[in-house]
Amino acid sequence: MQKSVLEQTPQLTPAQTRFHMLKMEDRFREQVLAMASTLVSLVDLRDCYTGGHSTRVADYCHRIALELGVNETETETLLLAASLHDVGKIGVPDHILLKKGLLTEDEFEHIKKHSEFGWMVLRGVEGFEEASLILLHHHERFDGGGYPGDLSGAQIPFGARIVAVADTYDALTTNRPYRNKWEHDRAVAEIERCSGTQFDPKVIDAFMRAFA
Ligand SMILES: [Fe+2]
């Protein structure tokens, strides 16, 4: 009697199944990273400061995470979020995003929307769920009063507290249309001064070990 199609299909051993799944995970991871890199390139095309800035912020986050002993999986999520933290700036009009000069209050309110825009775009994408929360909260302050959630202390995702420090260090040490870049020592001193107010003291301790 002829065998059914199911019976003719070779069955994978448990070891082969595990290997197959690992390959699938690797492929999925590669796809997530490829998509992240595409998004960073898109931001770079729109505003070259933001693109270069995001890559540097990811590098600084990595140095801080190493000091903090953050595990490999969480570091990967952190770096994904750091690379994409300003992706929502794609939704900010050119005349505000690229303005050479100080922003009006209204314009600043518009810029502030970028963290929510980024979160809205990425929160539903498989592989980006956690990173999207980090980028949503990267402008919160440790003592409260930041945006968009007015969160404080442990309410703020830990990764977002790391991105906040790295983001500020890069913004201070880069030339902007409205301000010349600060020297490294001046930027580090300013960030240390904001420990416990704008920034998480635990993150600042790690930042000082890595940067001072
Ligand atoms: Fe931002």
Write down the pLDDT at residue 68. Answer: 98
**In angstroms, what is the span from residue 207 Cα to ligand 1's centroid?**
19
For the chain, the domain total comes to 1
Domain of 93: which CATH number? 1.10.3210.10
Write down the pLDDT at residue 97. Answer: 87
Write down the pLDDT at residue 14. Answer: 65
| 10-residue stretch averages of pLDDT, the chain, 212 residues long | 58 64 76 87 78 88 97 94 92 89 92 96 91 97 98 98 98 87 97 98 98 91
- Residue 156 to residues 43, 56, 150, 161, 172: CA-CA distances in angstroms? 25, 22, 9, 7, 23
Is residue 3 assigned to a domain?
no
What is the extent of the structural domain holding 36?
12-211
Write down the pLDDT at residue 164. Answer: 98
Write down the pLDDT at residue 5. Answer: 52
Is residue 202 assigned to a domain?
yes
Write down the pLDDT at residue 179. Answer: 82
**In angstroms, what is the span from residue 19 Cα to ligand 1's centroid?**
40
**In angstroms, what is the span from residue 88 Cα to ligand 1's centroid?**
8
What's the whole-model pTM score?
A: 0.86
